[in-house]
Structure 1
Amino acid sequence: MENIQSKLLTWLKSLGPGMITAALVFGPSKMTITSKMGALYGYSLLWLVAVAIFFMAIFTAMATRIGVSTEMSLLATVRKKWGKGAAIAMGIGVFLVATSFQAGNSVGVGIAAGELFHTSPVLWIIFFNLFAICLLFFRSFYSVLEKTMILLIVVMLLSFITTFFWAEPDSGEMLQGLVAPHVPEGSLGLIIAFTASCFSIVGALYQSYLIQERIRANPALKNTQNDSTSGIILLGVMCFIVIVCAAAILKPKGITVNSASDMAKALEPLFGSNASAVFLIGLFGAAFSSVIGNASVGGTLLGDALGLGNNFSSKSVRYLVALVMVIGASVAIRFGKLPLELIVFAQSVTIFVVPFIGTAMYFIGNDKSIMGDRVNSTFVKIFGALGLIIIFSLAIVNSKELFFNNPLFK
């Protein structure tokens, strides 16, 4: 019994980096996309969750092994392997994407708290961004980040699972949606958006930094289990639950959603204010975790690219993380949403940066001189290559949509 308890405790301690990655990927935009998938197409796209999570798990586990295998950061490895220009391009690209999308996370925090307490979202945007910036300057920020993200994941899970049981979904249709892949007419745009956001190469890349930060805080953890898969599975569970809730509640009523908070409003006439409050708590958890996590990614990668440090002990990195938060909050307060021009800018940067990052991770993971015994297995090489094909295909489709079908370019 004591041995089982010891193993369980070890496993729980290994979850931190994977949970942080899951929390930063599952933000307000992900809740909006998954809500729309369920509201418009019912249970028919549940299979997509399993596919996207599978490839996300492949690349997140790869990043974990890269982080454990080398003393250098991933961008430092890229600099050594392909030159300074490649590392700087990756770091600046990730910073621009993180900064561009940060406004949406701030808006999500403001709306969730504002609707819960029936107040203006602006005050909450200011308060929670200031609170997040204060967290940065704790002596051991990684430990604070890890505990905060795990708490927020638990809050999200409890909120969504409670809503799930309120919804009373059809188990037969759920099973069919999982095991019988089907692409409903008109769903391609949502399929692309979900795959691109759930199979997040930037989130996977950051896993290598989180693992190294964790080992830096406690060197004894280098040779212990570092589980990234459990956090990614939890990401899939949350996506699955939101789709099912929307399919069970909104689709029969013909209710569509344009933002994550719309789903909370849609719950109220059906289940009363308690249900919408529960869902708004989950939305707050998703938004606030992304406010911290997304800013941490942008600040850390830019700091590393510019040679200012690659961990939270560097004051420069903490200031850059805070800068992402300040810019995001300022845009959110000024416009009340993520402006279309910023979305277009973020998409254009993502199109050119993400395939490059995925390819760099794949070749580093295949390099035995860097990875040693942790080099990619044949299984990972095959499915990692398939994942890269998906990433490049999404980039081609997105570039066509962005540059040829976007009203801003006409």
Structure 2
Amino acid sequence: MIKKFFKNIGPGPLVAAAFIGPGTVTICTLAGVNFGYALLWAMVLSVFATIVLQEMAARLGIVSQKGLSEIIRSEIKSPVLKTIAIILILSAIVVGNAAYEAGNISGGALGMQTIFGNPIIELGSLKLNILSLIIGIFAFVLLYIGNYKVLEKVLIFMVVIMSLAFLLTAIITKPNIAEILKSVFVPKFPKDSILTIIGLVGTTVVPYNLFLHASLAKTKWKHKSDLGFARKDTIIAVVLGGIVSMSIIISASSINGGEIANASDLAKGLEPLFGSYAKYFLSIGLFAAGITSAITAPLAAAYVASGCLGWDSNLKSSRFRAVWIIILGLGVLFSTIGFKSIEIIKFAQITNGLLLPIIAGFLIWVMNKSIILGDYKNSKLQNIFGIMILIITIFLGVKGILSVFKLI
């Protein structure tokens, strides 16, 4: 029974690994430090929305045996609309992931720095971060092997390490269980919390994960009879991811105020209160969050580019490899030399803000097409949930774009 369960673990943990990156760790840390347990309900909402959309993406991949970007190419008939959609998707996912990759690698390095210090090599006026290079090499080797099963096992192991690290940190802080349960089920909107609430939802419901999940699901499962395994895999992994995010909020809640802007600061802040174990657990968690996102972001970009441009999406194909090598290479370069291109990240935020509601809307539309899904198309209940989430994604998209231009 247990052996069968592990055999049918699929891309769910990879999806969880992708959305729990350094950005999610940071926003959860700030939510806990600034608002205590009050915003835990927002994570429950995020988890529900993610399960609904990711289940649709996985079902589409298994039944059609195509990736989401391939479906977009074949189903949008208007050449103009198709071109606009492809340009927007490539901009948001490929360029966006290149921009965020430096943050993923830097986040992983930050976790290691808390334990090992910050080894730097100086080459003339350039200062190179050794830990960023190590993470980049590890990600490169794993992706270059090009074996889905190896990738899956390593990422599942890293997700388990990350989950245990953050859960143990939360347990060490001796949280108030009654208050946690109340905050999970009773929505509260403390003063100045709205942007943090939107941030918690926005870092969990991620556009590139929809593309990644559809592509990985069709790689893992070939038969419609596997849909039950895919559904369980999605629910378990995303719920686990939500618990990890909540653990970070709970850990951060134990510190009142102070100069805490990210998980590395939180690790240092927890040490005097709860001992060195808290610092080490949190640092390991941040390292695992950074390295898993550093692997899944280039992988997602390669799947998206291959689907949009009609290339072979085999992990070992030269074009597929070229895309993830460029994304990973830029991430390592920018992280190693400490370069932060605010303009590129702003561009990525704008395109992601536009893309999320468009892709969610397209996904719901496709999931109702009998010609593609037959008897496996959306039920009325799935459509109701999907439309509710679509409204949330539109709100998130508008907020994201307005915040980039400092209009809110």
Letter in 2 for 1:29: G
Q: Is 1:128 matched with 2:127?
A: no
Higher mean displacement: 233-242 or 111-120:
111-120
1:92-136 deviation digits (Å, cap 9, x = unpaired):
431111111111001112121222112327101111211211112
Letter in 2 for 1:306: L
Deviation at 1:285, TM superposition (A): 0.6
> Identity, % of aligned pairs?
27
Letter in 2 for 1:21: V
1:146-198 deviation digits (Å, cap 9, x = unpaired):
11111011101111121122100011211111121110001111111111111
d(CA) in 2 for partners of 1:68 and 1:110? 36
Matches within 5 A, 1:192-231: 192-215=198-221, 222=226, 225-226=229-230, 227-231=233-237
d(CA) in 2 for partners of 1:66 and 1:400? 32
Residue in 2 that maps onto 1:43: 37
CA RMSD of aligned residues (A): 1.9
Residue in 1 that maps onto 2:294: 291
Q: Is the Cα–Cα contact under 8 Å of residues 66 and 215 in structure 2 kept in the other structure?
A: no
Deviation at 1:319, TM superposition (A): 2.0
Residue in 2 that maps onto 1:53: 47
Q: Is 1:318 matched with 2:321?
A: yes
Matches within 5 A, 1:9-408: 9-83=3-77, 84-85=82-83, 86-120=85-119, 122-140=129-147, 142-215=148-221, 222=226, 225-226=229-230, 227-247=233-253, 249-251=254-256, 254-335=257-338, 338-405=340-407
Q: Is the Cα–Cα contact under 8 Å of residues 13 and 159 in structure 2 kept in the other structure?
A: yes
Letter in 1 for 2:64: T
d(CA) in 1 for partners of 2:22 and 2:321? 24
SS class of match (2:315): coil
Letter in 2 for 1:279: L
Deviation at 1:374, TM superposition (A): 1.3
Deviation at 1:53, TM superposition (A): 0.5
Letter in 2 for 1:129: G
Deviation at 1:224, TM superposition (A): 6.3
Report the TM-score, using the length of structure 1 for normalisation: 0.91
Q: Is the Cα–Cα contact under 8 Å of residues 215 and 221 in structure 1 kept in the other structure?
A: no
Q: Is the Cα–Cα contact under 8 Å of residues 110 and 286 in structure 2 kept in the other structure?
A: no
Q: Is the Cα–Cα contact under 8 Å of residues 16 and 150 in structure 1 kept in the other structure?
A: no
Structure 2: runs of 5 or more not aligned: 121-128
Counting matched residue pairs gives: 393
1:25-74 deviation digits (Å, cap 9, x = unpaired):
10111011001101110111111111110010000000111011113322
C-alpha distance 29-87 of structure 1, shift in aligned 2 (>3 A): same
1:204-225 deviation digits (Å, cap 9, x = unpaired):
3321111012136xx7985662
d(CA) in 1 for partners of 2:318 and 2:33? 45
Q: Is the Cα–Cα contact under 8 Å of residues 63 and 224 in structure 2 kept in the other structure?
A: no
C-alpha distance 99-139 of structure 1, shift in aligned 2 (>3 A): closer
Higher mean displacement: 81-90 or 310-319:
81-90
SS class of match (1:233): helix
d(CA) in 1 for partners of 2:345 and 2:374? 40
Structure 1: runs of 5 or more not aligned: none
Structure 1 or 2: more helix by fraction: 1
Report the TM-score, using the length of structure 2 for normalisation: 0.91
Letter in 1 for 2:363: M
